[in-house]
Structure 1
């Protein structure tokens, strides 16, 4: 059966935000006397807002509320995006290219405020029929909740959706939802080999994600 919808991730796929998230979170932890650990960035990728705010406030700092951490970090991110929006090469073109043939969705670990800010700034918000933040589901990536929620909103079975992801937890999430997965690995944050193996197609950039690639994806086993 052919693909009927394409679902994008945001961070690391449409916007090169992971370096910004890392810088902002590192600075926040340091400002509050916490300790950034060697595996912290890998652990954070894919977490929902509540999950990462609790991790920073409880595990890395020790005495800050989840609500305070989330508010302060998201505010810092919003101010950074207002200064400069670090789009991935070919992001806007990829969205417009996919929108010509398929319904579009987005499943992101970013908070709703940042999703709406980014899509509005780059002028593609109207092209997405469904967008879900992991704030709005029970579990963040690598669990499938966000992708399943997008499929429900699109009214397309998950197995007829193609997901475009970059991170280990993102790839695992889309695969667990039963979607056909395209990996566009971020060079600074490459996914683990077992996660990459879940992809039906591995692209070097968004320019490689063409209608022919989407149409040629095999159904998940």
Structure 2
């Protein structure tokens, strides 16, 4: 393995995870009959027609439009729509217990740390701040902000430029195999994080959790 100077993580499924049931229940409190599938359909249609937000101001507008579209779809009264607009998706995110130790190890090893997410919102940095992860992270970028997404090469290269490193200096972690393959294609040392596995499989570059980091960046 070449000398590693930077560690890059995906956010969702690697550093954090969504509490889907909690989120669905919170929306269903005001939207009788709400399902995640229908919510994602409305979300996707809005993103396709208006584009996903590239900055915090656009994100506020995007959420307003989303709740309006959902209210119209389910024929909600103004009071319920107003209640929906008070929801914050970050309330339904949790940090994996191995996240902070992994980030701390990176800093202990004097590694640059980046987060590269296909998350379609502009508030990636805010979400990291909410959980006090930002103190360990040098750069974080999301797909909607940079206008490209993993596994497109430019997504990885954009973060490399921000970190001032070459792809060959980076080790990359993602829970989705196509994104791992995309990182490998640009020259990164890439691992899939499969939290369903009980053991690490370093030979095939699959790890069960971020505890494997100490075996990788020795």
TM norm structure 2:
0.66
Aligned twin of 1:125:
134
Q: Distance in 1 between matches of 2:176 and 2:166?
A: 23
Aligned residues: 183
Aligned twin of 2:63:
71
Q: Distance in 2 between matches of 1:154 and 1:121?
A: 22
RMSD: 4.0
| TM-superposed deviation, 1:85 | 3.3
Q: Is 1:56 equivalent to 2:45 in the alignment?
A: yes
Q: Is 1:149 equivalent to 2:153 in the alignment?
A: no
Q: Is 1:12 equivalent to 2:36 in the alignment?
A: no
Aligned twin of 2:105:
97
CA deviation map 1:57-94 (0-9, x unaligned): 488xxxx6446994256997961423x53112311111
Q: Distance in 2 between matches of 1:172 and 1:145?
A: 14
Q: Give the conservation status (yes or no) of the 8 Å contact 1:143–1:172.
A: no
Structure of greater Rg: 2
CA deviation map 1:13-69 (0-9, x unaligned): 010128479959x98xx99x99949xxx9xx9xxxxxxx95x43488xxxx644699
> 5+ residue gaps in structure 1?
45-51, 191-196, 216-221
> 5+ residue gaps in structure 2?
53-58, 68-83
TM norm structure 1:
0.65
CA deviation map 1:87-111 (0-9, x unaligned): 1231111111112111111101222
Aligned twin of 1:47:
none
Partner of residue 216 from structure 2, selected from 210, 213, 217: 213
